[in-house]
Amino acid sequence: PLAFEKEVDRLLASPAFGERFARHWLDVVRYGETRGHEFDFPIPNAWRYRDWVVEALNADLPWDQFVREQIAGDLIPSPRHDASGADRSVVGTGFWYLGEEIHSPVDIAQDSADRTDNRVDTFGKAFLGLALGCARCHDHKFDAISKEDYYAIAGTLVSSS
């Protein structure tokens, strides 16, 4: 009589659960292990973020913590630690490190602005459910996102390391 519930519990307990559902999230945050342009250089340690997402899903990390660790996991007052004592929360910030980058751009300032724009827009789509890219040039037509909001987020990224 409880066959369905037992099967659901079995599937949720499987490590494959996190691997399967991580694929969806990794698509949202434009995960790739390479930069995706011309020479397609590898992103060092990108796999650490991928594994962090799988681990977080398999551990049933609460959504608010999942989001917090990706946006500012390096600033969490009480970070999560693994068995060896390593800070696991900070790995979530790998979210900011992903994305396409051009090798040897002609206009370095434009390339830097485009990289920031990619990160701001991905942040908006992933965590706010909004495309923020259009606010780079004008106030958002349908949502209350102004150019000032856009550049406040962009300024936070540019001033961070």
pLDDT in tens for each of the 161 residues of the chain? Answer: 899 999 999 998 899 999 999 999 999 999 988 877 777 788 889 999 999 999 999 999 999 999 999 999 999 999 999 999 999 999 999 999 887 777 788 899 998 899 899 999 999 999 999 888 888 888 877 778 888 999 999 999 899 87
Tokens of 111: 């390339």
Core vs surface per residue 118-154: b (16+ CB within 10 A) or e? bbbbbbbbbeeebebbbbbeeebeebebeeebbeebb
pLDDT in tens, 91-102: 999 999 887 777
Helix (H, G, I), strand (E, B) or coil at 118: helix
Give yes or no for a contact between 146 and 132, defined as CB atoms under 8 angstroms apart. no
Q: What is the CA radius of gyration of the chain?
A: 18
Give yes or no for a contact between 72 and 93, defined as CB atoms under 8 angstroms apart. yes
pLDDT in tens, 111-124: 889 989 999 999 99
Residues 6+ apart with CB under 8 A from 48: 91, 94
Distance of CA 38 to the CA centre of its chain: 23
Length of the chain equals 161
**pLDDT score at 86:** 93
pTM over 0.95: no
Cα 150 to Cα 50, 113, 117, 133: the distances in Å are 27, 12, 9, 8
